[in-house]
Amino acid sequence: MSGVREDGASSKHHAHMIGGDGPNSYGRNSAYQKELLVPAHDLLQQLISKHLDTNNSTHDTFRIADLGCSVGGNTFFAVENMIGAVERRYESDRRRVPEFHVFFNDVIGNDFNTLFKQLPAARTYLAAAAPGSFHGRLFPKESIHLAHCSTALHWLSRSLESSNKGRIHYAGAGREVREAYAAQYKRDMDCFLRARGEELVAGGLMVLILIGYRDGFVLGSDSSIGESFDILGSCLYEMAKMGKIGEEEVDCFNLPFYYPCGAEVEAVIEANGLFSVETLTEMGAPMKGEADPATLVGHMRAVIGVLVEERFGSGVVEELFQLHLNKTIERAREKPFIYESRHREIIHFVLLKRNNPS
């Protein structure tokens, strides 16, 4: 990266997951995220039972926010998980179970129409949309009792626009690039925590499921994420050489994802000061074992297809991801990057409690 511009070298993006229920939709390509919610089930049950204060429910309504809900059944699975845990806590305290009001949040461009068409018919909660970036305020002060955010906080609020020639991410890049990403992540996490600090009731809980790495690991091409981004970057540069997109555009295209280690997560929470860390634990690595290249590329397209279209235009998306699939299959023959030994990422499970205002 050739230095950060004085205007911040970044620009806000409005990307969201591919909506609808077609073959490229997020709803059809989000098994990875579902795999992370399943092992979180038992942790949620145990920790909500231990830390939830049933005295915090006002007017007989318990409000839950699922932040970065996207489209598909994963958000409903998470919500039903949380509601079940809360109900059991109220019953164990011999208190009447309140009504549940659930807010589904994502950016304004999210396909809320498809999301709400898929609402479970037998649900035990009232549902509402809360469109907007979770890096800012979404709800009235002290109105939310339980917030949840799964596999979404690696998205930065803006894309870094400085030149990162030869790469589209900080994986494998130089120190300056990594530091620029880390600084943006810290700013974004602080904004997220400040917004939630105003919205949660005193003693309210927040569950975060974060993709990241162990302390001391430097993200490079020797990881499944770094390898996949390297392949995608090579595809973009190949298309630039064919004259289909501009090479300078690719040089300044940096995927807005940051994957923290546990120490970084803990440090930004401590510096923010609004929450106490009740639990910060490693939940285990996702996608263990072999994964089909078509599945991996389908997931990538569902997640960043809109981002690519936003930057390079809709005409390149189909060709780009077909090229990405071809190269992924070829790379898998050369070296088995899709096997467990290259899955270095881990999942941080974090439970926060809102401190009482001073």
The pLDDT value recorded for residue 339 is 45
The pLDDT value recorded for residue 7 is 36
Which strands make up the sheet holding 346-354, listed edge to edge?
126-131, 99-106, 61-67, 144-150, 200-212, 346-354, 275-284
Domain count, the chain: 1
Q: What is the C-alpha separation between 149 and 127, in angstroms, rounded?
A: 17
The pLDDT value recorded for residue 21 is 67
Backbone φ and ψ for 271, nearest 5 degrees, come out as: -65, -35
Q: 317-334 and 224-241 are packed helices; what angle lies between their axes, rounded to 10 degrees?
A: 130
The pLDDT value recorded for residue 266 is 97
The pLDDT value recorded for residue 5 is 36
**Along the chain (358 residues), what's the average pLDDT of each consecutive run of 10 residues?**
40 62 60 67 88 78 95 89 94 93 95 93 96 97 96 92 85 90 97 98 95 88 85 94 92 93 96 96 65 83 87 90 92 63 79 88
- Domain assignment present for residue 273? The answer is yes
The pLDDT value recorded for residue 55 is 80
Q: What is the C-alpha separation between 143 and 131, in angstroms, rounded?
A: 16
User: CA 32 from chain center: how many Å?
Assistant: 12
Opening angle at CA 27, ends 25 and 33, nearest 5: 120
- Domain assignment present for residue 227? The answer is yes
Of the candidates 4, 115, 12, which has an alpha carbon nearest to the alpha carbon of residue 69? 115
Let me know: does 320 contact 235? Beta carbons within 8 Å: yes
- Domain assignment present for residue 301? The answer is yes
What's the Cα-to-Cα distance from 350 to each of 33, 79, 147, 208, 331, rounded to whole Å? 16, 17, 12, 5, 35
Let me know: does 96 contact 243? Beta carbons within 8 Å: no
- Domain assignment present for residue 295? The answer is yes
Q: Look at the block and give the residue holding tokens 């979770």.
A: 134
- Domain assignment present for residue 1? The answer is no
The pLDDT value recorded for residue 56 is 65
Supply the CATH number for residue 115's domain. 3.40.50.150
- Domain assignment present for residue 4? The answer is no
The pLDDT value recorded for residue 223 is 81
- Domain assignment present for residue 68? The answer is yes
Q: Which residue range is the domain that position 318 belongs to?
A: 10-354
Q: What is the C-alpha separation between 93 and 103, in angstroms, rounded?
A: 25
Q: Look at the block and give the residue holding tokens 């994420």.
A: 225
- Domain assignment present for residue 348? The answer is yes
The pLDDT value recorded for residue 154 is 94
